[in-house]
Amino acid sequence: MPTALASLVNHQVRLAARPQGMVKPSDWQFTEEPVAEPAEGGVLVKVLALSLDPAMRGWMNEGKSYIPPVGLGEVMRAGGIGRVLVSRNPAFKDGDTVTGGPGVQEYWSIPADQVKRSGVAKIDLRLGTVNQWLNVLGMPGMTGYFGLMDIGQPKPGETVVVSGAAGAVGQTVGQVAKIKGCRVVGIAGGPAKCAWVVKELGFDACIDYKAGDVKAGLKEHCPKGVDIYFDNVGGDILDAVLARINRKARIIICGAISQYNNEGAVVGPKNYLSLLVNRARMEGMVVFDYAERYPQAIAELAGYLKDGRMKSKEDVVDGGVAAFPAALPKLFSGENFGKLVLKVADA
Ligand SMILES: NC(=O)c1ccc[n+]([C@@H]2O[C@H](COP(=O)([O-])OP(=O)(O)OC[C@H]3O[C@@H](n4cnc5c(N)ncnc54)[C@H](OP(=O)(O)O)[C@@H]3O)[C@@H](O)[C@H]2O)c1
């Protein structure tokens, strides 16, 4: 093994306990391992940046979901971007920048038989930066794009409401809906986020749900009702929007972050009969179902970034994997402003 590789240590964060309610520091365990030279067909990746996602909270729970839970003692699952340090696989060269699911650790060693299954793929940094590849060009961008376009099916002149508007998914949804000719109303927490989506992203309006009455805000800013609601938060905000939907409205159930830390059961919408009255539909989506079409969406979104029609805002936390336990809760307190990224190493 080259001496440089032999001296490397892989610092990792593992799941130590299944949280009740909000995630705590004691739910994590720090470990370290030597970094090994990959065997024939394998790839060794140095992690540059990790995607911190609300879904991580769900992956910590026992029970059936769209993906198995992270096992106790396992390295915490995380998407990320890295650089190939050593490739013994013909599909990759040393120095390639790749996307995939390295987990919360500094080095990702992918054995030959897992290279295909791991989803590791080369990315083109001419289309966007490492952080943009975790945001608009990455999983959140794909979620916003396909949720809006496939399920929402926006038409020019329609009114689109998106919650979590200043977050990773929300910023893509609102900007793409504007490009497609819709009236876009965001819902976000606090004056700074609301001002940003209107002034910088060009949304028509934004309702600060922390300042008060979402119902009144919807009435004021959606005078023709709501045709598409892209729901990132669930809870009372979903009920408020259901009360304003139009006939044949489409509601995309992307997430329900207001419910992820409940100690009891998830609380569903009370106003669901509005779907009946308005012949509307509500449909869940999981981004991974669109994986084969990511290249098409990436090409379109990269074009908008390049010609200035779209912006991509990331909130980058420094400090490497050791900073992960303190960074993740920011998603649930709303402290993140833009896509939450954990920087692990210099690009
Ligand atoms: N279905 C899929 O395939 C898929 C894929 C990716 C993400 N998602 C979902 O999409 C949603 C957004 O994810 P993201 O990565 O873009 O996160 P994000 O919006 O960048 O960050 C989370 C934001 O949620 C808001 N929030 C937290 N607690 C809240 C509450 N109780 N009520 C209302 N808002 C609250 C906060 O913004 P404020 O400051 O505005 O409150 C916070 O900044 C999540 O529900 C996530 O699970 C789904």
Could you report the per-residue pLDDT of 65-104, keeping only the tens digit for each? 889 999 999 999 999 999 999 999 999 999 999 999 999 9
For atom 28 of ligand 1, the residue with the nearest CA is 332
pLDDT for 36 equals 87
pLDDT for 347 equals 82
Convert the pLDDT of each residue in 287-307 to its tens digit: 999 999 999 999 999 999 999
Does 130 share its domain with 148?
no
Query: Could you give the percent of the chain with pLDDT greater than 70?
Result: 99
Backbone dihedral angles phi then psi of residue 99, each to the nearest 5 degrees:
-115, 155
pLDDT confidence band for 121 (50 / 70 / 90): very high
pLDDT at 234 over 70: yes
pLDDT for 2 equals 59
Does 217 share its domain with 120?
no
Does 228 share its domain with 277?
yes
The residue-averaged pLDDT of 131-155 equals: 98
pLDDT for 264 equals 87
Query: Does residue 121 lie within any of the structural domains?
Result: yes
Q: Give the ligand 1 atom nearest the CA of 339.
A: 20
Does 85 share its domain with 187?
no
pLDDT confidence band for 229 (50 / 70 / 90): very high
Query: Does residue 250 lie within any of the structural domains?
Result: yes
CA of 126 to the centre of ligand 1 (A): 28
Query: Does residue 308 lie within any of the structural domains?
Result: no
Does 157 share its domain with 214?
yes
The residue-averaged pLDDT of 210-232 equals: 97
Does 148 share its domain with 207?
yes
CA of 231 to the centre of ligand 1 (A): 9
pLDDT at 1 over 60: no
pLDDT at 165 over 80: yes
Query: Does residue 36 lie within any of the structural domains?
Result: yes
Query: Does residue 299 lie within any of the structural domains?
Result: no
The residue-averaged pLDDT of 217-232 equals: 98
pLDDT confidence band for 203 (50 / 70 / 90): very high
Does 154 share its domain with 190?
yes
The residue to mutate among 56, 57, 214, 233, having the most atoms of ligand 1 within 8 angstroms of its beta carbon, is 233
Count of H-run helices and E-run strands, the chain:
12, 15
The residue-averaged pLDDT of 181-190 equals: 98
pTM of the model: 0.97
Does 152 share its domain with 280?
yes
SS3 content of the chain, % helix, strand, coil (to 5): 35, 25, 45
The residue-averaged pLDDT of 157-163 equals: 99
Domain count, the chain: 2
Does 196 share its domain with 327?
no
The angle formed by the CA atoms of residues 138, 139 and 145, to the nearest 5 degrees, is 90
CATH number for the domain harbouring residue 183: 3.40.50.720
CATH number for the domain harbouring residue 337: 3.90.180.10
The residue-averaged pLDDT of 205-217 equals: 96
Query: Could you give the percent of the chain with pLDDT greater than 90?
Result: 95
Query: Does residue 119 lie within any of the structural domains?
Result: yes
Does 114 share its domain with 222?
no
Identify the residues whose C-beta falls under 6 Å from ligand 1.
Answer: 53-55, 140, 143, 164, 166-170, 188-190, 193, 232-233, 254-258, 285-287, 331-332, 334, 336, 339-340
The residue to mutate among 23, 56, 194, 257, having the most atoms of ligand 1 within 8 angstroms of its beta carbon, is 257
CA of 37 to the centre of ligand 1 (A): 38
pLDDT for 286 equals 97
Mean pLDDT of the chain: 97
Containing domain of residue 41, as a range?
Answer: 3-135+313-343
Count Cβ atoms within 10 A of the Cβ of residue 277 and give its class: 0-12 exposed, 13-18 middle, 19 or more buried: exposed
The residue-averaged pLDDT of 107-120 equals: 95
Does 235 share its domain with 266?
yes
Convert the pLDDT of each residue in 241-272 to its tens digit: 999 999 999 999 999 999 999 998 899 999 99
The residue-averaged pLDDT of 313-318 equals: 98
Question: DSSP character for 338?
Answer: S
Query: Does residue 306 lie within any of the structural domains?
Result: no
pLDDT at 39 over 70: yes
Beta-strand pair 121-122/183-188: unpaired
Does 54 share its domain with 107?
yes
Query: Does residue 93 lie within any of the structural domains?
Result: yes
CA of 299 to the centre of ligand 1 (A): 25
pLDDT for 3 equals 54
CA of 257 to the centre of ligand 1 (A): 5
For atom 22 of ligand 1, the residue with the nearest CA is 331
Q: Is the Cα torsion angle 29, 342, 209, 144 positive or negative in sign?
A: negative
CA of 28 to the centre of ligand 1 (A): 22
CA of 323 to the centre of ligand 1 (A): 20
pLDDT at 58 over 60: yes
